[in-house]
Amino acid sequence: MQHALILLVVLIAGMGLSMEAGLLGPLGGEVGHFSATLSIFLVGAALLTFALIFARPKMSQLFSQPRWLLIGGILGPVYVVVLTVATPLIGVGMTMVGILCGQVGASLVIDHFGLLGSTRRPVDLYRVLAFALILLALWLIH
């Protein structure tokens, strides 16, 4: 049951990413791509700051972690800038299928080799077939 609930939350979050792409395209066209990206992160930072008032933050432990774990701080803005630039040019659908294709491909490699501290999950024929179908979707939606 918990697994199904987590999957539902992940699916809803994925829907939110498509909405974010749809919102960022026009916003980037009006205020500039970097300004639109900054606005998304400022709103997010404000919400997280508010949430930290009620949570017990572990900020002291943050800087004792290996520095490579903070790479996500670079990848997030790059992702949002790509959404902001690509969506008006190729549409939300093509952008999200392209993003999905990259995510699944990288995820399969990370899982298969247990990279970045993740649990090793060997890639089987079903996962390769799923990735091939996503590639097909990318080609068809183009």
Model confidence pLDDT, tens digit, residues 71-100: 888 898 999 999 999 999 999 999 999 999
> Would you say residue 104 has pLDDT above 80?
yes
Contact assessment for residue 80 and residue 40, using Cβ atoms and an 8 Å cutoff: yes
Rounded distance between C-alpha atoms, residue 109 and residue 113, angstroms:
6
Contact assessment for residue 33 and residue 84, using Cβ atoms and an 8 Å cutoff: yes
pTM of the shown model: 0.82
Contact assessment for residue 78 and residue 19, using Cβ atoms and an 8 Å cutoff: no
Q: What pLDDT does residue 108 have?
A: 96
> Would you say residue 134 has pLDDT above 90?
yes
